[in-house]
Amino acid sequence: MNPSAHIGVTGLAVMGRNLARNLARHGYTVAVHNRTPARTTSLLAEFGHEGTFVAADSAKAMVAALQRPRRLIVMVQAGRPTDDVIAEYAPLLDPGDVVVDGGNAHFADTRRREAALRERGIHFLGTGISGGEEGALNGPSIMPGGSPEAYRLLAPALTDIAGITPDGTPAVAHLGADGAGHFVKMVHNGIEYADMQLIAEAYHLLRHATGWEPARIAEVFRQWNTGRLNSYLVEVTAEVLAHHDADTGLPFVDVIADAAEQKGTGRWTVQTALDLGVPVSGIAEAVFARSLSGHSALRAAGTALPGPAPTILDERDAARLTEQVEQALYASKVISYAQGLHQIQAAGDAYGWNVDLAAVAGVWRAGCIIRAAFLDRVRDAYTAGPGLPSLLADPGFAHEVGDAQLPWRLVVSRATRDGVPVPAFAAALAHYDTLRTPRLPAALTQAQRDYFGAHTYRRTDRPGSYHIRWDTDRTEEAAL
Burial class (CB in 10 A: 0-12, 13-18, 19+), 83: middle
Rounded-to-integer distance, Cα 309 and Cα 27, Å: 63
Write the Ramachandran bin of 334: left for phi over 0, alpha for psi from -120 to 50, otherwise beta. alpha
Beta-carbon contacts of 391 under 8 Å, excluding residues fewer than 6 positions away, are 334, 337, 338, 341, 342, 378, 381, 382, 397
Q: How far is CA 400 from CA 333, 414, 427, in A?
A: 12, 21, 18
Beta-carbon contacts of 185 under 8 Å, excluding residues fewer than 6 positions away, are 104, 128, 129, 130, 143, 265
Query: Given strand 123-130, what is the order of strands in its sheet?
Result: 53-55, 30-33, 7-10, 71-74, 98-101, 123-130, 141-145
DSSP 3-state of 112 = helix
Rounded-to-integer distance, Cα 66 and Cα 122, Å: 15
Rounded-to-integer distance, Cα 44 and Cα 66, Å: 18
110-116 contacts at long range (C-beta below 8 A, 24 or more positions apart): 110/145, 110/178, 110/179, 110/181, 110/182, 111/178, 111/179, 111/351, 113/82, 113/83, 113/86, 114/146, 114/177, 114/178, 114/179, 115/178
Sign of the C-alpha dihedral, residues 372, 403, 424, 344?
Answer: positive
Instruction: Report the candidate in 129, 124, 118, 120 with the shortest Cα–Cα distance to residue 71.
Output: 124
Q: Is 114 a catalytic residue?
A: no
- List 114, 192, 201, 400, catalytic entry: 192
Rounded-to-integer distance, Cα 175 and Cα 417, Å: 45
- Interior angle at CA 218, CA 198 and CA 424, nearest 5: 5
Rounded-to-integer distance, Cα 432 and Cα 413, Å: 16
Q: Is 192 a catalytic residue?
A: yes
Q: What is the dihedral of CA 391, 377, 167, 184, to 10 degrees?
A: 20
Instruction: Report the candidate in 50, 85, 67, 46 with the shortest Cα–Cα distance to residue 3.
Output: 67
- List 185, 285, 333, 400, catalytic entry: 185
Sign of the C-alpha dihedral, residues 55, 58, 60, 63?
Answer: positive
Residues known to be catalytic: 185, 192
